[in-house]
Amino acid sequence: MNECDRLLKFKSFHEISESKMEWLWRGRIPRGVLVGLIGMPGVGKSLICVDIASRITKGVELPFDSTPRDPENVLWISAEEDASTIIKPRLGVAGAVMSKVFFFTGADKCDSMLALPLDAKRLEDALTEHDAKMVVIDTATSVLESRLSHNSDKDVREALLPLSKVASETGAVFILIRHTNKRNGESASNRGIGSRAWEGVCRSVLFVGTHQESQQKAVGVMKLNCGQIPPPLTYAIQDQVGTGLIQWGKEAPNITCDDLATLPAISSGRSRGRPSKTNRDSVEDLKTIFGERLDVDSSEIEDKMKNYGHSKGAIAHARKMLKIKSLKVDHKWFCRMPPEQLSSPLNEHPPRCDNIPES
């Protein structure tokens, strides 16, 4: 298209009809949008999707949502789990109507994985062909075209915006499963692997994890653009022969998504054999390293904290909790502790870092 042929179109809101939000799972999963599902390994992300899909195919209620519903079809796209040995047994245990769940087996004339945004229109055609209203993509980072990076905001939006349009036009829900990154100690909004655009394009984002104090698994709503966020919902994984089954519990207003995003720090490679350290330990150990000093060489902190058995995530968490700043003096980096955080009175002669701009 020539530049002179490109027209920008606008429409007044007087011409736009207002529509009511429809829900697949009231308060948690709206219809016609992309929904993110983030969680650590082993917490049951796929099993949760199996439970939801099974209920959808039977037309039965979802937890804490008594809305009457008709049975609906589901599309399942997986790059990680085998259809016959993993997914079908899980669906069977959950009581899914097998004839209403369609597994992606490859593109026509090519057995390659789905590729976005290339296959967005073809996916819309598949929704129409199978009359499906829910699509599970496990994992979402595996379906980007090879030229795109899941760490790039621009690339992720290029891949997902056409999919978002498909969701809006068909009324289907796309559940995009993603793993967590290794930044333990960060908030839930920073724990999803890849670019933050994954959360930006999704209208609802669920976070799945384990509350460390109670050891209770829960799924919380981290983001919801169209309503009030409900409390996290607890669940357990009931062991079945060769698989597992989700058993829903109760709403837990005392648990937050940030709670679910935090794990005790694991030991580093330099400290194999040491017991795992918690975030609370990391804060106390960092204060011990500072002692009476106001400023400490950054390399000293990194070396000692790793020797204590703290991961990079735990070190970052401790620095954040203690409000430590970075300062550069004569080409060397120091960490500065706020005076009120020191475990003992200030050293009278700290390194000369005054009037140095913060990094």
Residue-wise pLDDT tens digits, 69-118: 999 999 999 988 899 999 999 999 999 999 999 999 987 766 578 999 99
pLDDT value for 348: 37
Q: What is the pLDDT of residue 52?
A: 98
Residues 128 and 243 in one domain: yes
Based on the fold, state whether residues 59 and 124 are members of the same structural domain.
yes
Mean pLDDT (the chain) is 86
pLDDT in tens, 52-74: 999 999 999 999 999 999 999 99
Give the CATH number for residue 183.
3.40.50.300
Residues 287 and 185 in one domain: no
Q: What is the DSSP letter of 257?
A: H
Choose among 96, 106, 146: nearest CA to 126.
Answer: 106
| 221-228 contact pairs (CB < 8 A, 24+) | 221/27, 221/28, 221/257, 222/36, 222/38, 222/188, 222/189, 222/257, 223/36, 223/189, 223/199, 224/27, 224/28, 226/21, 226/30, 227/21, 227/27, 227/30, 228/27
Q: Are 180 and 252 found together in one domain?
A: yes
Residues 252 and 159 in one domain: yes
Residues 321 and 196 in one domain: no
Q: Mean pLDDT, to the nearest integer, of 198-211?
A: 96
Domain boundary among 260, 294, 324: 260
Write down the pTM of the prediction.
0.72
Residues 207 and 317 in one domain: no
Does 217 share its domain with 165?
A: yes
Residue 93 resides in a domain: yes
Residue 12, in any domain of the structure: no
Task: Say which residues have a Cβ less than 8 Å from residue 138's Cβ, sequence separation at least 6.
Answer: 45, 46, 49, 76, 77, 78, 79, 80, 81, 177
Would residue 242 count as lying in a domain?
yes
CATH of the domain at 323: 1.10.10
Are both 171 and 320 inside the same structural domain? no
Q: What is the per-residue burial (b if ≥16 Cβ within 10 Å, else e) of 172-207?
A: bbbbbbbbbeebbbbebbebbbbbebbbebbbbbbb
- pLDDT band with cut points at 50, 70 and 90 for residue 349: very low
Of 194, 228, 260, which residue constitutes the final position of a domain? 260
Residue 351 belongs to a domain: no
Instruction: Identify the pLDDT of residue 272.
Output: 42
Do 174 and 284 reside in the same domain of the chain? no
| Higher per-residue confidence, 337 vs 215 | 215
Q: Which residues constitute the domain of residue 116?
A: 21-260
Domain assignment present for residue 39? The answer is yes
pLDDT at 283 over 70: yes
The verdict on 254 and 277 lying in the same domain is no
Residue 14 lies in a domain: no
> For residue 300, what pLDDT band results from cuts at 50, 70 and 90?
confident
Residues 317 and 221 in one domain: no
Residue 354 lies in a domain: no
Overall domain count for the chain? 2
The pLDDT > 70 percentage for the chain reads 87
Q: Is residue 355 one of the residues assigned to a domain?
A: no
The pLDDT-based confidence of 127 (bands split at 50, 70, 90) is very high
Least confident window among 99-113, 187-201, 334-348: 334-348
- pLDDT above 70: residue 273: no
Question: Which residue has better confidence, 4 or 26?
Answer: 26
